[in-house]
A and B are shown apart, each in its own frame.
Chain A
Amino acid sequence: MRVGVIGVQGAVSEHIEAARKAMEKLGVNGEVFWLKKREQLKGIDAVIIPGGESTTISRLMAKNGLFDKVRELGEGGLPVMGTCAGLIMLSKEVIGATPEQRFLGLLDVRINRNAYGRQVDSFEAPLRLSFDDEPFQGVFIRAPRIVELLSRKVKPIAWLGDRIVGVEQNNIIGLEFHPELTDDTRLHEYFLMKAL
Chain B
Amino acid sequence: MGRFEIIEMKGTERLKRGFAKMVKGGVIMDVTNAEQARIAEEAGAVAVMALERVPADIRKAGGVARMADPEKIQEIMDAVTIPVMAKIRIGHHAEALALEALGVDMIDESEVLTPADPYFHVDKRKFSVPFVCGARNLGEAVRRIWEGAAMIRTKGEAGTGNIIEAVRHVRLVSENIRLIQRMTDEQIYGIAEKFAEPYLRLAIEVREISGLPGQVLENEPVYEGHTYRDIVEGIYKILLEIKKLGRLPVVNFAAGGVATPADAALMMQMGMDGVFVGSGIFKSSNPPKMARAIVEAVNHWDEPELIAEISKNLGEAMRGKDIAELEVRLEERGV
Q: Does B associate with A? A: yes
Tell me the residues in window 1-35 of chain B with beta carbons closer than 8 Å to chain A beta carbons: 3-12, 14-15, 18-19, 21-26
Do A52 and B22 touch (CB < 8 A)?
Answer: yes
Tell me if B's interface is mostly helix, strand, loop or mixed: loop
Residue of chain B at shortest CB distance from A160: B6
Contacting residue for A142 out of B3, B5, B19, CB 8 A: B19
Do A114 and B26 touch (CB < 8 A)?
Answer: no
Residue of chain B at shortest CB distance from A140: B15
Do B81 and A124 touch (CB < 8 A)?
Answer: no
What is the 8 Å Cβ interface bit string for chain A, positions 89-132, against chain B (1 contact, 0 not)?
00000001110100000000000011001111111111110000
Tell me the residues in window 1-30 of chain A with beta carbons closer than 8 Å to chain B beta carbons: 7-14
Contacting residue for A181 out of B3, B11, B14, CB 8 A: B14
| Contact A141/B47 with A14-B21, A113-B81, A161-B4 known, Cβ cut-off 8 Å | no
A51 interfacial by beta-carbon distance below 8 Å: yes
B320 interfacial by beta-carbon distance below 8 Å: no
Residue of chain A at shortest CB distance from B251: A11
Which chain A residues lie closer than 8 Å to B323 at the CB level? Answer: none
Contacting residue for B46 out of A13, A56, A96, A124, CB 8 A: A56
Binding site for A on B (CB under 8 A): 3-12, 14-15, 18-19, 21-26, 41-42, 44-47, 77, 81-83, 100, 103-106, 128-130, 295-296, 299
Apart from A53-B82, A55-B81, A118-B105: 6 A-B pairs, beta carbons within 8 A: A9-B26, A10-B23, A51-B22, A120-B100, A124-B14, A142-B105
| Contact A126/B18 with A9-B24, A52-B24, A119-B130 known, Cβ cut-off 8 Å | no
Which chain B residues lie closer than 8 Å to A160 at the CB level? Answer: 6
Whole-angstrom CA separation of A178 from B20 in the bound complex? 13
A59 interfacial by beta-carbon distance below 8 Å: yes
A48 interfacial by beta-carbon distance below 8 Å: no
Do B14 and A10 touch (CB < 8 A)?
Answer: no
Contacting residue for A55 out of B6, B25, B82, CB 8 A: B82
19 sample A-B contacts, Cβ–Cβ < 8 Å, listed by A number: A9-B26, A9-B299, A11-B18, A11-B24, A52-B23, A53-B22, A53-B45, A56-B295, A59-B295, A119-B15, A119-B19, A119-B105, A119-B129, A122-B10, A123-B9, A124-B10, A125-B6, A135-B4, A139-B18
Do B14 and A139 touch (CB < 8 A)?
Answer: yes
Whole-angstrom CA separation of A128 from B22 in the bound complex? 24
A78 interfacial by beta-carbon distance below 8 Å: no
Report the contact-size class of chain A (Cβ under 8 Å from the partner): 35 or more
Do B22 and A60 touch (CB < 8 A)?
Answer: no
Do A120 and B45 touch (CB < 8 A)?
Answer: no
Binding site for B on A (CB under 8 A): 7-14, 36, 51-53, 55-56, 59-60, 63-64, 84-85, 96-98, 100, 113-114, 117-128, 135, 139, 141-142, 160-161, 178, 181
Do B26 and A124 touch (CB < 8 A)?
Answer: no
Contacting residue for B42 out of A84, A100, A127, CB 8 A: A100
Whole-angstrom CA separation of A123 from B22 in the bound complex? 15
Whole-angstrom CA separation of A14 from B24 in the bound complex? 11
Q: Could you tell me the distance in whole angstroms from the C-beta of B247 to the nearest C-beta in chain A?
A: 11
Do B25 and A10 touch (CB < 8 A)?
Answer: yes
Which chain A residues lie closer than 8 Å to B299 at the CB level? Answer: 8-9, 36, 60, 64
Whole-angstrom CA separation of A13 from B128 in the bound complex? 25
